[in-house]
């Protein structure tokens, strides 16, 4: 009887160690895949397909932090339109090719954007956003503004510290000033992850 109990204990320990080993192997495999994508994007893929960007400032907190490095791909928006909540690299000012912002797409062509106090409305409906941790400060009324055929309204996730489409000098961003769709955070390494 004791032998069978000892065997059962040994079996449970073996299974526990095996499942732990499987988890470690899975984590190592995932890190390897991300590292391979990172290396591919940095060294093998031409700059007109993928590019590396560094987050500057706190306008995208808590999604992205100052100094984090991202990989953006430049192909998607050649064939498709930006979608709501895409994290993107845009050229905020016409003619300034070296000045890029990382923002999130909020409003789509043809939609009417309005801010009343701290509430963001799209086509008169309150916008629910899971990526926002902090209520927007009470602001002066913005809008209503109806976006043109190829115009997008972009904002930082940290609304209280973001210079974005709400600013008069920036406003809606035309599709031809979208530089890339961000899909991967590569630095710091412990934060390596897909961006959604």
Is 103 an active-site residue?
A: yes
d(Cα 195, Cα 40) in Å, to the nearest integer? 17
**For residue 84, what are the contacts with CB-CB under 8 A and spacing of at least 6?**
105, 106, 107, 108
Catalytic residue among 4, 58, 59, 125: 59
Is 59 an active-site residue?
A: yes
d(Cα 48, Cα 46) in Å, to the nearest integer? 5
Nearest CA to 154 out of 192, 102, 98 is that of 102
Q: Which residue has the tokens 């927007």?
A: 136
Catalytic residue among 23, 76, 103, 141: 103
Q: Which residues are tagged catalytic?
A: 59, 103
């Amino acid at each position: 009887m004791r032998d069978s109990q000892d065997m059962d204990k040994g079996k449970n320990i073996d299974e526990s160690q095996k499942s732990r080993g499987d988890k470690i192997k899975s984590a190592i495999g995932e890190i390897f895949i991300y590292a391979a994508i990172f290396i591919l994007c940095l060294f093998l893929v031409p700059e007109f397909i993928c590019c590396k960007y560094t987050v500057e400032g706190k306008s995208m907190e808590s999604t992205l932090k100052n100094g984090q490095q991202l990989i953006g791909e430049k192909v998607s928006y050649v064939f498709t339109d930006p979608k709501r909540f895409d994290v993107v690299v845009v050229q905020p000012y016409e003619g300034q090719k070296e000045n890029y912002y990382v923002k999130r797409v909020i409003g789509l062509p043809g939609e009417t954007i309005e801010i009343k106090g701290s509430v963001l409305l799209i086509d008169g409906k309150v916008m629910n956003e899971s990526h926002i941790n902090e209520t927007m400060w009470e602001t002066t009324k913005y809008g209503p503004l109806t976006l043109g055929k190829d115009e997008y309204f972009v904002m930082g996730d940290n609304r209280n510290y973001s210079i974005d489409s709400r600013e008069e000098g920036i406003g809606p961003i035309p599709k031809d000033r979208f530089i890339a769709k961000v899909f991967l955070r590569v630095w710091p390494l412990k934060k390596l992850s897909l961006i959604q």
